[in-house]
Amino acid sequence: MSSDQQIIFTKDAPAVSKPLAPMYVNLPLTDKTNTHDMPNQSQAIKTPNMIYCSGQIPLTPEGEMVQGITEQTRQACKNVQAVVEAAGSSISKVVKTTVFISDMSYFAEINTEYEKWFSHKPARSCVAVKTLPKNVDVEIEVIALP
């Protein structure tokens, strides 16, 4: 990785897999970065031109599961917002979303909440998948401009 890439983590979204040592928060990422004690993924990677956000599921920052498809969608969007803001951007600068759902019958309900967060209509894919992490019903990943 080049020195113009930055690992993004925020306490305002759920941890990706294990607690992150404070020394790694928003760390410039280079070939010399010691990633041994880091989780196996970051919440996002920021480059000079884009922010690539890992999929966000409906867990609160404290790790509590949210119930109900509308509420799950809202929490996933809150987590997306927290991560892109930690990267110095905003949800209005999201240019592409990928929405993974456990059942296509949830599409209309998810879409109603989704439109409240992404009224600027970024490009989007929506895919029904067999299983999502922690058996949630929705996961949202995004690409945003810095």
Residue 84: which CATH number?
A: 3.30.1330.40
Total domains in the chain come to 1
Mean per-residue pLDDT, 36-60:
85
Which pLDDT band, with edges at 50, 70 and 90, does 19 fall under? very low
In which band, very low, low, confident or very high, does the pLDDT at 21 lie, cut at 50, 70 and 90? Answer: very low
Tell me the average pLDDT of the chain: 86
Q: Is the pLDDT of residue 73 over 80?
A: yes
pLDDT band at 3 (very low <50, low <70, confident <90, very high): low
Report CA dihedral (135, 83, 66, 120) to the nearest 10 degrees.
-100
> What are the catalytic residues?
126
pLDDT at 33: 47
Element (H, E) at 72: helix 69-86
- State which residues form the domain around 92: 5-144
Distance CA 94, CA 100 (A): 17
